Amino acid sequence: MVVLLAIAGILEGFGVAAIVPLLEIMVRPDTQPSDGLAATVSDVFGWFGLPFTLEVVLVALTGVFVVKALVAYGAVFQVGTVVAGVSRDLRLRLLRAVVAARWQHTLQYPSGFIGNAVSGETSITAQAYREACQVLAELIQVAVFVTVAFLISWQTATASVVVGAGILFMFRGVVDRARRAGQTQTHTLRDILASLTDALPSLKPLKAMHREHYLLPRLEEGTNRFFRAQRAQIALQELIYKAQEPILLGAMAFGLWLVLRFDAAQATDLMVLALLFYRTVQTLTNIQGRWTTVRVGETAFQSLMEHIDAAEAADEHHTASGELRAPPLGQSIAFDDVWYDYGEGPVLKGVSGDIPAGRFVTIVGPSGSGKTTLTDLVSGLMRPTEGHLRIDGVDMARIDLKSWRDQVGYVPQEPMLFSDTVRSNVTLGRSDASDEDVEKALRAANAWEFVSALPKGVDTRIGEGGQNLSGGQRQRLAIARALVGEPRLLILDEPTTALDGAAEKEVCDALAGLHGELTILAISHQSAIRDMADDVWTLSGGRVRDRTTASAPAPLDA
């Protein structure tokens, strides 16, 4: 890219230099130039055996600019490829890091932050990168112009550099202020998107109560702050471009006056010098304008890199994964004085107890008592702050989390179905899941009957979020999805809370069929799920206050 840009710059320099002989011929068509740049160019023509005539000079000049255009296009194409590649690589790095990060890390970020980083910040960064490439191209061009100017008159070349540097110096504060305006935009946009992502799911109840205006002031405040920062940035950036032209023309007028008054330069050389001076200083000021965009983009880049670095540092397979493969859960999941703290005081306070393999354990307790936290520790999404969790006697800290989670099926309260086929929703990309596996899982989840009655069976597409299915059907698909990998442990977080009596019964029938086949750990307030359990743990204030056993442990084939 840099080589192409350099060649394009040099060709443009040649083109500008070639204007001198052209003017010379136009002014004095019948005489060969004897000094100045025109004489040098005439000599170069002579080496190639070309006559120094108007036609030959015109053709040569056109040729130089055609080649320059082609090379410049090649350079721009290369810049485009590199810039698009930079934003793709940054996006992929961020997405991979976010997906691989520890759950505690993911919890810290509103999803709007990630959305903004993937769409906004990567685009601004790519734009800044592109401008940085242009800055490089224009610096090369300035170097060529200054060299050509030196060949004609070192005074003009020096004057161009001094005037250009002076203008850059005068406007350096403006660049800094534009960068700060860019920083405000980056942070404000991130906050707006975070608020919006929080707000949208609550829009329905707010509208239903005519309280939607509650959202607007928060979004409006951010939007107005963004407007002010954007306006400031545009005004400052344009100031750099617009204010420099009069300064530049003033300097040129003064330079021309000096040369004409005290120097006997040839008129043709003088015109080219004026052109070179103008182009050099103008290119330098362009560079400053572009540099402002680079500095503005730098803040988005920094913010993006902070997300990427933090997510990469939180990669759970580097930071929290043990060296042992998970045991097959043939004996128990044991809690040994487990504490957990999100950072605002402990929410689990010394939980101890066994979940024997093959048992159905239901956890009940008031809201906020730590039930979900407990199941998140069991699935390895989080690590105990203190104490130990053991699978068949092996400390989970020593277990490879991937191999453990391969044995876990998880059913949340609100299943998130993708707008895809039933099959894809059940297999979730497991290429080794056969038709038989899908059918078996759907049958076990008490879902086969309704799925086989769909127009295309398992190949029927379900609408976004599964909206054309009933709540009970969605939940049974979520259970089938959890079962298709033949887990040894099924975790259910309030699986029937959002369902009516009939739908709850369908889900309970599915769970009854699974009872004794694998270990089940359910959180539920519903009596139906509690009554099915072998053991019921009552959690309150982060402690297990009560433990009742309904029946003897069922044997499990490990």
Ligand X SMILES: Nc1ncnc2c1ncn2[C@@H]1O[C@H](COP(=O)(O)OP(=O)(O)OP(=O)(O)O)[C@@H](O)[C@H]1O
463 binds ligand X, rule: CB under 6 A: no
CA pair distance 42, 30, nearest whole angstrom: 13
Backbone angles phi, psi at 387, to 5 degrees: 90, -175
**What gap in Å lies between CA 558 and CA 33, rounded to an integer?**
100
Min CB(343)–ligand X separation in Å: 7
- Cα(262)–Cα(440) distance, integer angstroms: 98
- Whether 55 and 34 have beta carbons less than 8 Å apart is answered as no
User: What phi and psi values does residue 416 have, to the nearest 5 degrees?
Assistant: -95, 105
372 lines the binding site for ligand X (CB under 6 A): yes
Tell whether residue 495 is a contact of ligand X (CB under 6 A): no
CA gyration radius, the chain: 36
Q: How far is the CB of 380 from ligand X (least distance, A)?
A: 16
List, as one string, the DSSP characters of 164-187: HHHHHHHTHHHHHHHHHHHHHHHH
CB 24 within 8 Å of CB 52 = no
Using CB under 6 A as the binding rule, whether residue 371 contacts ligand X is answered as yes
Provide, rounded to whole angstroms, the least separation between the CB of residue 541 and ligand X.
10
In the bound complex, what is the minimum distance in angstroms from residue 340's beta carbon to ligand X? 8
CB neighbours of 66 closer than 8 A, spacing ≥ 6?
none
What is the Cα–Cα distance from 189 to 224, expressed in whole angstroms?
Answer: 11
We find the least distance from the C-beta atom of residue 367 to ligand X, in angstroms, to be 3
Pick the piece of the chain touching ligand X (CB under 6 A) from 40-48, 366-374, 417-425, 437-445. Answer: 366-374
**Judged by CB, which is closer to ligand X: 87, or 375?**
375
Check if the beta carbon of residue 506 is closer than 8 Å to that of residue 544. Answer: no
CB-nearer residue toward ligand X: 186 or 496 = 496
CA distance 333 to 367: 24
Residue type, 534: D
Question: Coil, helix or strand for 538?
Answer: strand
Contact call for residue 135 and ligand X (CB under 6 A)? no
**Strand boundaries in 188-343, DSSP class E:** 332-341
Select 127 or 372, whichever has its Cβ closest to ligand X.
372
In the complex, least distance from residue 344 CB atom to ligand X, rounded to whole angstroms: 6
Tell me 270's DSSP state. Answer: H
Is the Cβ of residue 442 or residue 529 nearer to ligand X in the bound state? 529
Which residue stretch of 52-60, 367-375, 419-427, 548-556 sits at the interface with ligand X (rule: CB under 6 A)? 367-375
Do the Cβ atoms of 446 and 508 come closer than 8 Å? no
**414 makes contact with ligand X (CB under 6 A):** no
Between 73 and 112, how does the x/- string for binding to ligand X read (CB under 6 A)?
----------------------------------x-----
Q: What is the Cα–Cα distance from 529 to 352, expressed in whole angstroms?
A: 23
By rule CB under 6 A, what string of x and - marks binding of each residue 332-361 to ligand X? Answer: ----------x----x--------------
Q: For the CB of residue 368, give the shortest distance to ligand X in the complex, in Å.
A: 4
Could you tell me the smallest distance in angstroms from the CB atom of residue 318 to ligand X?
Answer: 22
Q: How far is the CB of 112 from ligand X (least distance, A)?
A: 16
Our CB check for ligand X shows the closer of 36 and 365 to be 365
Query: Which span sits near ligand X by CB under 6 A: 219-227, 371-379, 426-434, 436-444?
Result: 371-379
Which residue number, 346 or 356, has a Cβ lying nearer to ligand X?
346
The DSSP letter of residue 495 is: T
Q: How many CB atoms lie within 10 A of CB 535?
A: 20
- Examine residue 368 and tell whether it contacts ligand X (CB under 6 A): yes
**Amino acid occupying residue 328:** P
The reply on whether position 384 binds ligand X by CB under 6 A is: no
* Residue (323 or 344) nearer to ligand X, CB: 344
Q: Which stretch binds ligand X (CB under 6 A): 113-121, 364-372, 433-441, 442-450?
A: 364-372
Residue 385 binding ligand X, by CB under 6 A: no
Question: Nearest CA to 37 among 271, 263, 193, 362?
Answer: 271
- Residues that bind ligand X in the complex, under the rule CB under 6 A: 107, 342, 347, 365, 367-373
